[in-house]
Amino acid sequence: MTIRFGVSPIAWANDDMPELGGDTPLDSILADIRDVGFAGVELGGKFPRDPAALKPLLAGYGIDLIGGWYSGSLLVQDAQAEIAALQPHLQVLKALGSNVFVFAETSNAVHGNKRVPLTGSPRLAAGDWAQFGARMTEVADYIAAQGLKFAYHHHLGTVVESDGDVRAFLRSTGDSVGLTLDTGHAALGGVDFIGLIQEWPRRIAHVHCKDIRAKVFAKARDERASFLDGVLAGMFTVPGDGGIDYDEVMRELKKIGYSGWIVIEAEQDPALAPPKPYAELGLRTLREAAARAGLS
């Protein structure tokens, strides 16, 4: 697999805040994604989970299913319980030919809680990483045996948020545990994502690209706003509309021989940031940066 560009539907219809784009028909979302020129899409809340319905739906728009977020609970249950719980999600991905399984620990996450400020993310004690990592590795080994790449999604408001968190996570897990490198969450979480690409090249399994508005984030954090309030204020945007240097990102991905999906996942209020033109800007920015880097 070479580089393919995809998108998350979250800019059209936000699963964490259903009031954002809740009245937008799925057919309209998929038509926009096709017309912009994306090769694939990640799962969204409006998508049917029955492969018999989802497969012909996406095929009708010429769009592949990339994968989709899975909320895990390995801090509160063992690997075998998690493997049992993830079966419905896994079976959809396998039936649609997806090759990546995106996992995030959400058992104590606060990113969906408007009462908790951006500074209120849960922390994992130093002594708890070993068990968490062992459980994660067991699940990732299972996913690999099913023929998919396991790609853990670090995220604001979760136990894997900061640079120290991500590095502790990687040290505590085995090689089967890949990373969904999310540039936006990395930038706002203080993660040196260029350093991660350079230092952990074999663990970069999947890439999410969102840009940031650093001043908006700083204001939201200083005012003790929640993650969702920060999204509404516009702390995220698409590549090309914020402060991240995507030429540098693409050069580093080229150096490590990255092959796989590069996905735009930039949640904004669709009433303020019309999804289609923003998606066009994001895709154009990434394609041009990839071309300059020789990444194809």
pLDDT digits (tens, 9 = 90+) for 87-110: 999 999 999 999 999 999 999 999
pTM, two decimal places: 0.97
Asked whether the predicted pLDDT for residue 138 surpasses 70, the reply is yes
Distance linking the first and last C-alpha atoms of the chain: 10
State the DSSP code for 125.
Answer: -
State the DSSP code for 251.
Answer: H
Banded pLDDT at 1 (limits 50, 70, 90): low
pLDDT digits (tens, 9 = 90+) for 47-103: 999 999 999 999 999 999 999 999 999 999 999 999 999 999 999 999 999 999 999
Banded pLDDT at 245 (limits 50, 70, 90): very high
Whats the size of the chain, residue-wise? 296
| Rounded average pLDDT over 217-234 | 98
Q: Is 156 helix (H, G, I), strand (E, B) or coil?
A: coil
Give the separation between CA 26 and CA 11, rounded to whole angstroms: 12
Domain ranges of the chain: 4-293
Q: Give the pLDDT confidence score for residue 32 in this predicted structure.
A: 98
Q: Give the pLDDT confidence score for residue 296 in this predicted structure.
A: 84
The CATH number assigned to the domain with range 4-293 reads: 3.20.20.150
Asked whether the predicted pLDDT for residue 115 surpasses 80, the reply is yes
Mean pLDDT of the chain: 97
